[in-house]
Amino acid sequence: MQRHALFLLLSAAAVAADPYFGGVGALLPDDATLGRQVVAVPVRQEVWEQPGGPAQVDRAVSASLAAGQRPYLLFHAAPRRTRLTDGREVQTTEPAGLAMPVFANGQDRSGDGDRPNPANQWAMLVHALVERYDGDGLADAPGSPRVAWLAWAAAPDSGATPPFRRDALPGWPGSGFDRLARLVFVTRQAARHADPDVRCGLRLDHPEALRLALQDPAVTLGWQLDFLDVPVPAGVGSDGLLFDPTGLVPTIDRWRDVLDREGGTARLLARTLRLAPGATATTLRAAVPKSQVVAAATRLWAAPWALAAAERPARIAYATWAGVLGDSLASGAATFDEEQPVGAVARCYRFRRAAADLLVAWLYDPAGEPQEPRLVRLPLQRETTYYAYRWDAAAGAAPQRIEGGRDGALVELTVDPVYLLAGDPPLSWPEPGPAAVASTTAALATAAAGNAGLALDGDPATAWWGGAGERQTWWQWSRPDAPLTLEQIRLKAAPLPGGQVQVEASLDGVVWRAVSDPQAVAGYTWQRIALRRRVTAGYWRLLLTKPPAAEAGLYEVELGEPRP
């Protein structure tokens, strides 16, 4: 069966405009609390189309979200033979039916009621996938996050070096930039029909291909691309990876120069970073957080790494960066100010974190060679107290207190970044370790909701309120270590005009099934909801069958007892 390549970055909640997303993959079982993570979840099209296929994807996505990761879904590509208009047969990864109308109305644009065209297989696949993860409550994965970023994952200009012909790309022999633009257009139309907020992008290997595409008057890639995923070659030394002629910063500058000259507005994602073979663990430990700082300063969207289980120091260094700066960048609470001149032996970047001054500095390390610590004068603000966090702060190392003087302060630097954050008290991190399984009944609700536990606190005068403006509203309770056997529940809730609630159960918190009929809500009185049969499960939830016009209120839920 034909297979195509697509990756999606899923976001559990909205973030500030133009955030910076850090990322490391290969989650360690004992590092569940460390850092913002990006991980690949592979999926094949034939698995997706089989009955039960989406549930397999849902389970992987749910597990990644529970571990604090931001999962990608990767659809694997496979080439196929196709006949061009001039009669030639070529091998290409272009999807079947791409030239057909996007929608069943015979047009490339649709109204609200139109559906994708079954003859355009790519439009059908993209629409189905985005609909599965758009969080609107219609045919969603259980507890679905919303798809935030979507792109074709196989670079069509891979396998060769410039100069390229205008009518052909190495990845799509015999097909030119007009066919590439058609792929992006169909992706954008089908995806945004399912969710208008999806951002669409493309993987490319060469700035020359982007330049030719943007210069072609018959191609409209410039306004269709929200982002580009571009490669960065492996580097030597924690700073060599960033500043060598083929490093992160010069590479991004070349791509951004093409965008600026040709009128493109796409944001940039650096494909997974890596050091050259033979790099030491110390070099890797320094390179991972340095790349995040420099990427944020150069207006990248993300610069992810893939780290193995043996690379725990690098993951702790990443977690320190995330706790001091990365999470604040992603939420919009921190912003980049400017790079500070501190001499030829060191680098220093100034950020603002919730209005507090934050400097990140390190010794310059172009070749990954051992260096002795050195005292470097940094521009700390006068009469200001700073706390210096070293690479191992996330593992429990205490910060050092430093006072800013008239000429800044002398700070001992190594090749590892040090974070100097103004203000008191100092930051703290949770102890690294696996997420604990709750031994008591836990309650949660949709992301925009308030304190879900108020509906399970034994006090019918307190209430959880939520749901206004959400695409799907639910309230959930769980006891995975002591499943509940129920035949009914009792609840007290505020009126829900025109709406109903339904009880659902799950064995794993991922795949849900309805175990009661929908029932109207009797306002402010206790009411019983009978289940269709006696059910034992560790995860339960009340699902509102349609979005509420105003906030829904749930005062209390009475459950059965845990099974023996």
The string over 157-184, giving b where at least 16 C-beta atoms fall within 10 Å of a residue's C-beta and e elsewhere, is beeeeeebeeebbbbbebbbbebbbbbb
**Residue 121 above 80 pLDDT?**
yes
Domain presence at residue 357: no
How far apart CA 156 and CA 104 sit, in angstroms, is 28
Domain presence at residue 384: no
**Residue 562 above 80 pLDDT?**
no
**Beta carbons of 21 and 302 less than 8 angstroms apart:** yes
Under the banding of pLDDT at 50, 70 and 90, the label for residue 408 is very high
Give the pLDDT of residue 366.
93
Domain presence at residue 544: yes
Cα 14 to chain centroid distance, Å, stands at 11
Q: What is the mean pLDDT of residues 257-283?
A: 90
Phi and psi (nearest 5°) for 404? -80, 130
Under the banding of pLDDT at 50, 70 and 90, the label for residue 15 is very low
**Which residue in this structure is represented by tokens 């969080």?**
135
Residue type present at position 407: D
Q: What's the chain's Rg over C-alpha atoms?
A: 26
Helix or strand (DSSP H, E) at 104 = none
Domain presence at residue 515: yes
Q: Report the SS3 class of residue 505.
A: strand
Domain presence at residue 224: yes
**Residue 170 above 80 pLDDT?**
no
**Residue 79 above 80 pLDDT?**
no
How far apart CA 79 and CA 339 sit, in angstroms, is 46
Under the banding of pLDDT at 50, 70 and 90, the label for residue 360 is very high
How far apart CA 561 and CA 564 sit, in angstroms, is 9
Q: Which of 140-149, 353-362, 493-502 has the highest mean pLDDT?
A: 353-362
Give the pair of three-digit tokens for residue 83.
């006949």
Q: Report the DSSP pairing between strands 519-520 and 526-537.
A: unpaired
- Asked if omega into 54 is within 30° of 0 (cis), the reply is no
Under the banding of pLDDT at 50, 70 and 90, the label for residue 163 is confident
**Beta carbons of 70 and 36 less than 8 angstroms apart:** yes
Under the banding of pLDDT at 50, 70 and 90, the label for residue 112 is low
Helix or strand (DSSP H, E) at 7 = strand 6-11
Give the pLDDT of residue 6.
58
Helix, strand, coil fractions of the chain, as percent rounded to 5: 25, 30, 45
Under the banding of pLDDT at 50, 70 and 90, the label for residue 302 is confident
Under the banding of pLDDT at 50, 70 and 90, the label for residue 51 is low
Q: What letter does residue 154 receive in the DSSP assignment? A: S
Q: What letter does residue 322 receive in the DSSP assignment? A: I
Under the banding of pLDDT at 50, 70 and 90, the label for residue 132 is confident
Q: Report the DSSP pairing between strands 305-306 and 24-25.
A: parallel
**Residue 403 above 70 pLDDT?**
yes
How far apart CA 195 and CA 144 sit, in angstroms, is 13
How far apart CA 249 and CA 300 sit, in angstroms, is 10
**Residue 560 above 90 pLDDT?**
no
Domain presence at residue 299: yes
Same domain (yes/no): 53, 200: yes
Give the pLDDT of residue 11.
47
Query: Each residue of 185-229: pLDDT tens digit?
Result: 998 999 889 888 888 888 899 999 898 888 877 677 777 888 898
One-character DSSP codes across 451-503? -GGGGGSS-TT--EEE-TT-SS-EEEEE-TTS-EEEEEEEEEE---TT-EEEE
CATH number (domain holding residue 516):
2.60.120.260
**Beta carbons of 380 and 414 less than 8 angstroms apart:** no
Average predicted confidence (pLDDT) for the chain = 80
Query: Each residue of 473-528: pLDDT tens digit?
Result: 888 888 776 778 888 999 988 888 778 899 988 877 766 788 899 999 888 888 99
Domain presence at residue 296: yes
Domain presence at residue 369: no
CATH number (domain holding residue 75):
3.20.20
How far apart CA 515 and CA 224 sit, in angstroms, is 44
Q: How many domains is the chain partitioned into structurally? A: 2
Residue 563 sits at the vertex; the CA angle it makes with 558 and 564, to the nearest 5 degrees, is 140
Region of 432 on the Ramachandran plot (φ > 0 left; ψ -120 to 50 alpha; else beta): beta
How far apart CA 67 and CA 64 sit, in angstroms, is 5
Residues for the chain: how many in total?
564
Domain extent at residue 107: 6-283+291-310
How far apart CA 79 and CA 238 sit, in angstroms, is 37
> Would the pTM of this model clear 0.85, i.e. be above it?
no
For the ranges 78-92, 224-238, 391-405, the lowest mean pLDDT is seen at 78-92
Question: What is the 3-class SS of 332-376, one letter each residue?
Answer: CCEEEEEEECCCCCEEEEEEEECCEEEEEEEECCCCCCCCCCEEE
Give the pLDDT of residue 256.
94
Q: Report the SS3 class of residue 62.
A: helix
Query: Each residue of 419-462: pLDDT tens digit?
Result: 999 998 788 765 433 222 222 455 666 644 457 888 887 777 78
